[in-house]
Amino acid sequence: MKKEPSTILERLSKKGFPFSKLYEARSNAYTAPLVELILASEQIMASSLKPWSFKSLAQIGREEFVRTGNFYEYDKWERAAQRELADCTGRYIYYEEAEGLLFFVQDGSGGFRVAKPGDAAYDFVRRLNKENSVSDLIFATAPTWAEELFLGRENFEAYKLLWYNNDGDDYEKTKRLKSEAVIRETQRRMGCIPGLADAGLHHGDNLVGLDSGHELASAVDSSDVANSVTISLPHMNKALSAVFEIMGNNWSSFDPKRLPKQVNIAREIDKALGWGKQGDPGNEPSRDAKTIAKIIKPDAIGESE
């Protein structure tokens, strides 16, 4: 099978872009960084595939520009490329706060904390969003705020897992439910990172009811872990129904000394949803199934099997 172009450089080459225009633009101090970004496509793509914990919006933007960027008016390519880079860098500003996506800043001691009002870069992007100015951004190299705000991989993966469909009659209620789910999953994955406990948790009526008895310090008791949780959903589709059934089958009643194995639960999810190898016991479950299996596992069990 013929390999499809995977970087902007490959796509431009396939479409016959006159690369002499790129080399000419190198002499312009403003567009030179954009040229170097395009020419470094392969290295940036390779870097984007490496494991990470935190990435700046600037780095996320550069990687998405290389992976998805395109432009068609070759005589005005500089302007089009600048808008494309700005869109790739700023697009997640739309999803912060209302959809559970978090921005982080460096805490001065080599670590990270959740961004909050008073952080200059955070205040700036919040203002951009409030003024509906994000779509007006245009630049050839990432600005300071994009270098100072970061995404956390665990929160980003939780966000992507849930925000795949924004349809539905009760859109606002669905948004609140999904946002809380993203924050809770991020807390479960990231633990006690400063500022995370209070980030984005605005409990709406009839959204999620949790029994504080789920926080167990030591021995796992199946009767405690299996306490009921009441959730009000705007709809129930086949995929959610299948996942809830798998959750009930594995975690409603079990022997604490013989806990259900995550790999088997993930295979059940693959089979129910038609993913990966669809539950074949001889194969590794899909990454998405593993993620869902972690989400439906009781917090009190921790990382044990």
Residue scoring higher pLDDT (106 or 213): 106
Residue scoring higher pLDDT (31 or 241): 31
Tens of pLDDT along 76-106?
888 889 999 999 999 889 877 667 889 999 9
Q: How far apart are CA 158 and CA 93, in angstroms?
A: 17
Encoding tokens for residue 58?
């600037």
- Model confidence at 222, in pLDDT bands (50, 70, 90)? very low
Say if CB 253 and CB 222 are below 8 A apart.
yes
Q: Where are the domains of the chain?
A: 8-153, 210-301
Residue scoring higher pLDDT (59 or 259): 59
Is the pTM for the entire model greater than 0.85? no
Taking residues 179-208, report their average pLDDT. Answer: 62
Encoding tokens for residue 83?
């808008």
Tens of pLDDT along 17-69?
888 888 888 888 988 999 999 999 999 999 999 999 999 999 999 999 999 88
3-state secondary structure the chain: CCCCCCCHHHHHHHCCCCCHHHHHHCCCCCCHHHHHHHHCHHHHHHHHCCCCCEEEHHHHHHHHHHHHCCCCCHHHHHHHHHHHHHHHHHHHHHCECCCCECCEEECCCCCEEECCCCCHHHHHHHHHHHCCCHHHCCCCCCCHHHHHCEEEHHHHHHHHHHCCCCCCCCHHHHHHHHHHHHHHHHHHHHCCCCCCCCCCCCCCCCCEECCHHHCCCCCCCHHHHCCCCEECCCCCCHHHHHHHHHHHHHHCCCECCECCCHHHHHHHHHHHHCCCCCCCCCCCCCHHHHHHHHHCCCHHHCCCC
